[in-house]
A = this chain, B = another copy of it.
Amino acid sequence: MNGLQEIRDFLAEEFPQSPCAIDAIGPQSATVRYRVDENSLRPGGTVSGPVLMTTADVGLYAAILGEIGIVALAVTTNLNINFLRKPSAGRDIIGECRLIKIGRQLVIGEVSLYSEGDDRMVAHAVGTYAIPRI
């Protein structure tokens, strides 16, 4: 497992303007935060769908970096997301990511997304990543 700071540095270099931060890296897991600001909102006082999709994608990517190392370049091949309820406009989005398959070719993980401080899931995503043959 790679270290949290190492992964943060890598993501900061690769995505310098990303509003996502990695809160934690664990065994086959990661916690990601999307810092919600005015650009993240939709009319009606809620967070936009693309914000939730981005959070899921970045979080799974971080969990993969933690598991297989920051050298490998994982590529998202599939993302399936269900939107369950409206996120709160004034709270960061938190994604709890868990890898459910770590294969040589494919890594698959799921993400439960929340508005910070509220334990009702706002969205659930499953993503697949291809690990390029070296």
Instruction: Give the interface of A toward B (CB within 8 A).
Output: 14-15, 17, 39, 42-43, 49-50, 53-54, 57, 75-85, 100-101, 104-106, 108, 110, 121, 124, 126, 128, 130, 133
Bound complex: CA A81 to CA B76 (Å): 10
The binding surface of chain A is classed by DSSP as strand
**Are B108 and A84 in contact, CB atoms less than 8 angstroms apart?**
yes
Rounded to whole angstroms, the CA-CA distance of A124 and B49 in the bound complex is 17
Taking the nearest CB of chain B, how far is it from the CB of A82, in angstroms? 5
CB < 8 Å neighbour of A83 from B50, B54, B78, B110: B78
Chain B residue with Cβ nearest A108: B82
Known contacts A78-B81, A79-B80, A105-B105; 16 further A-B pairs (Cβ under 8 A): A49-B53, A49-B76, A49-B79, A50-B54, A50-B57, A78-B83, A79-B79, A79-B81, A80-B80, A82-B100, A82-B108, A82-B126, A84-B108, A101-B121, A105-B130, A110-B124
